[in-house]
Amino acid sequence: MKRLLPALLLVMLAACRREEPPRAEPAAPAPPVELPKPPVVAPAPLPPPSRFAEIEAMLDAAGENAALAGAAIGLCLLDEKGEIVVNQRAETAFIPASSLKTVTTATALEVLGPEFRFTTELRATAKMENGVITGDLVIVGGGDPMLKPDDLAAMVTQLKAQGLLRITGTVRGDGGLFPGSIYNNFWNWGDIGNGFGSGVSGLNLNHNRFSGWFRAGDTVGAAAAFLGTRPDVPDVLWKNEVVTGAADSGDGVMIHGGEGTPVVHLRGTVPLGAQEFHVKGAVPDPVRFTEHHLRRSLMDAGVEVGTSSNGSAEAAHVLFKHESPPLLEIIRSIHATSDNHETECVFLTLGLKAGKPPVEVIRSHWAARGLAFTGLRMEDGCGLARADFVRPADLARLQFLAGKGPQGEAYKASLLSRGGLRWKGGAMSGVRTFTGYATTEGGEEFSYALMVNHYTDGKAVSAFCQTVLDALLKLPAE
């Protein structure tokens, strides 16, 4: 039995053992899978250079120019749709100098109209009977900035044609149309005695200016002789301290006067060699000045004029009315000569006709046209006050709207022009500005305001402004 046990175990193990399956041969490695290559994407094309890149580069380069160091430069350029396409400090208010005149002139053309005229009247305190006015002749000013001595002579001719022989009283002037001082509160002391700062009255003659004439001394530093004025200015004592300057020194005369002053000081220099050198000065009393010259015209025409007056008598009898040139003609003169006196008469008349301050008339008019001024300060209408401020964005927008307005073509034509450029400029110490229109060689019109303040090198600023303005005309087509 013991012998059978091992054999039995072997049989049992054989029965229980399962036959192992044949081993599979290792699979061949799979071929590498080629992933699709990503598409080749070309780099995005660079945007085309801006049409205004040259001008923008000029503005950037100005900041690196030592001659313009410290200067504030503003430029606003509007396209034909009125969209701002160049903005260099356009929202910052600048001192405009005489480019501010366009705010006054553009407003007046639309509010008063191009045919508006100022009227000056000759009145009497009594009816003329048998060639005699038993009373005073009164000239009543209507704010006309263009009245000339020749106009007075023409008025006298009309009175003579009506039979006037004698005035028992005297000649009086009424310049009270514009209330307050003849000088703006913000005009500099150094301006108001000189011709460009002449006062503004309801009654004006010869722009309330005179020419002062001098003869230079024999050597530099020698006293210059004062030869008098043309036309003559009554009731003034002239204090002459003018001396002789170098031959190339030009006009160095300063005139210090003031409203109604009986003494006017003449200081500064005239060039060596000048035999008849003249400068423009401001008449201290425009009403007295006009009375004087009307009286002279009457007497030259053979009309007797008395010397005593009944100043309380009302001048109720209108003898003659004189009308100024039409407003559009005056505005052409303003844009051509930058005359402060003419502009102020127009500015004050805007307020007088509306019964409110002129700047309120301007703000409300342009607000209705789509321009709400921001940062505007108008102490006068001509820009002589250094306290005036306006943003390039608003000044350019005004040009755009005025050019599209009811008087647009007349307004544009009244500006100075050269080639495709139309402009009104402004200049005073440390201030240079231009505003208007630039029409490119391709016929596209832009409205612009270029303003530079706080510089010391005037020649560098002039060259810079000219370069920018020339570049406007050469802008490439869109």
- Stretch 284-307: mean pLDDT, rounded? 98
Whether 80 has a pLDDT exceeding 60, the answer reads: yes
If asked whether residues 377 and 309 sit together in one domain, one would say: no
**127-170 pLDDT tens trace:** 999 999 999 999 999 999 999 999 999 999 999 999 999 999 99
Whether 70 has a pLDDT exceeding 50, the answer reads: yes
6 — pLDDT class (breaks 50, 70, 90): very low
Question: Would 37 be classed as within a structural domain?
Answer: no
If asked whether residues 338 and 437 sit together in one domain, one would say: yes
44 — pLDDT class (breaks 50, 70, 90): low
Q: Are strands 431-439 and 421-428 parallel, antiparallel or unpaired?
A: antiparallel
Q: Tokens for 303, please give them.
A: 């009309």
Query: DSSP label at 309?
Result: -
Whether 4 has a pLDDT exceeding 50, the answer reads: no
Query: What's this model's pTM, rounded to 2 decimal places?
Result: 0.89
Q: Tokens for 22, please give them.
A: 């044949």
8 A C-beta contact, residue 194 and residue 281: yes
* Residue 7: predicted pLDDT: 47
* Residue 477: predicted pLDDT: 86
Whole-number Cα distances in Å, 241 to 238, 270, 348, 475: 10, 11, 36, 53
**Residue 297 DSSP SS3:** helix
If asked whether residues 369 and 419 sit together in one domain, one would say: yes
124 — pLDDT class (breaks 50, 70, 90): very high
Q: Are strands 416-418 and 132-133 parallel, antiparallel or unpaired?
A: unpaired
* Residue 24: predicted pLDDT: 55
* Residue 95: predicted pLDDT: 98
Whole-number Cα distances in Å, 327 to 20, 106, 107, 320, 398: 122, 11, 12, 21, 19
If asked whether residues 137 and 65 sit together in one domain, one would say: no
If asked whether residues 306 and 346 sit together in one domain, one would say: no
If asked whether residues 82 and 145 sit together in one domain, one would say: no
Whether 46 has a pLDDT exceeding 60, the answer reads: no
* Residue 42: predicted pLDDT: 64
8 A C-beta contact, residue 366 and residue 373: yes
* Residue 29: predicted pLDDT: 66
Could you give the CA distance from residue 435 to residue 407 in angstroms, rounded to a whole number? 18
**Percent of the chain at pLDDT exceeding 70:** 90
Question: Would 88 be classed as within a structural domain?
Answer: yes
Question: Would 12 be classed as within a structural domain?
Answer: no
**423-456 pLDDT tens trace:** 999 999 999 999 999 999 999 999 999 999 999 9
- Stretch 211-236: mean pLDDT, rounded? 98
Three-state secondary structure readout of 386-417: CCCEECHHHHHHHHHHHHHCCCHHHHHHHCEE
Query: Which of 324, 353, 381 lies at the terminal end of a domain, its last residue?
Result: 324
Could you give the CA distance from residue 77 to residue 84 in angstroms, rounded to a whole number? 6
* Lowest pLDDT segment from 8-12, 52-56, 122-126, 317-321: 8-12
Residue 366's domain comprises 53-116+326-473
* Residue 310: predicted pLDDT: 76
Query: Which of 324, 348, 379 lies at the terminal end of a domain, its last residue?
Result: 324
The domain total for the chain is: 2
* Residue 478: predicted pLDDT: 79
107 — pLDDT class (breaks 50, 70, 90): very high
* Residue 9: predicted pLDDT: 46
Q: What number of other Cβ atoms are within 10 A of residue 445's Cβ?
A: 16
Whether 97 has a pLDDT exceeding 70, the answer reads: yes
Question: Would 35 be classed as within a structural domain?
Answer: no
12 — pLDDT class (breaks 50, 70, 90): very low
* Residue 25: predicted pLDDT: 61
Sign of CA dihedral 169, 172, 174, 180: negative
Q: Tokens for 281, please give them.
A: 């000065």
* Residue indicated by tokens 């921001």: 374
If asked whether residues 110 and 162 sit together in one domain, one would say: no
5 — pLDDT class (breaks 50, 70, 90): very low
Question: Would 356 be classed as within a structural domain?
Answer: yes
- Stretch 15-24: mean pLDDT, rounded? 50
- Computed over every residue of the chain, the mean pLDDT equals 93
Sign of CA dihedral 105, 84, 80, 56: positive
Could you give the CA distance from residue 309 to residue 158 in angstroms, rounded to a whole number? 23
Residue 471's identity, in one-letter code, is A
Query: Which of 324, 339, 363 lies at the terminal end of a domain, its last residue?
Result: 324
26 — pLDDT class (breaks 50, 70, 90): low
**250-270 pLDDT tens trace:** 999 999 999 999 999 999 999
* Residue indicated by tokens 């003419």: 342
* Residue 18: predicted pLDDT: 46
- Stretch 31-53: mean pLDDT, rounded? 71
- Residue ranges of alpha helices (H) inside 130-261 are 149-161, 189-192
**343-402 pLDDT tens trace:** 999 999 999 999 999 999 999 999 999 999 999 999 999 999 999 999 999 999 999 999
Q: What is the CATH number of the domain that holds 106?
A: 3.40.710.10
If asked whether residues 224 and 157 sit together in one domain, one would say: yes
pLDDT: which is higher, 324 or 4: 324
8 A C-beta contact, residue 306 and residue 278: no
Q: What number of other Cβ atoms are within 10 A of residue 398's Cβ?
A: 23
If asked whether residues 434 and 291 sit together in one domain, one would say: no
Question: Would 405 be classed as within a structural domain?
Answer: yes
Q: How many residues does the chain have?
A: 478
If asked whether residues 291 and 239 sit together in one domain, one would say: yes
* Residue indicated by tokens 């009424």: 174
If asked whether residues 338 and 417 sit together in one domain, one would say: yes
If asked whether residues 127 and 252 sit together in one domain, one would say: yes
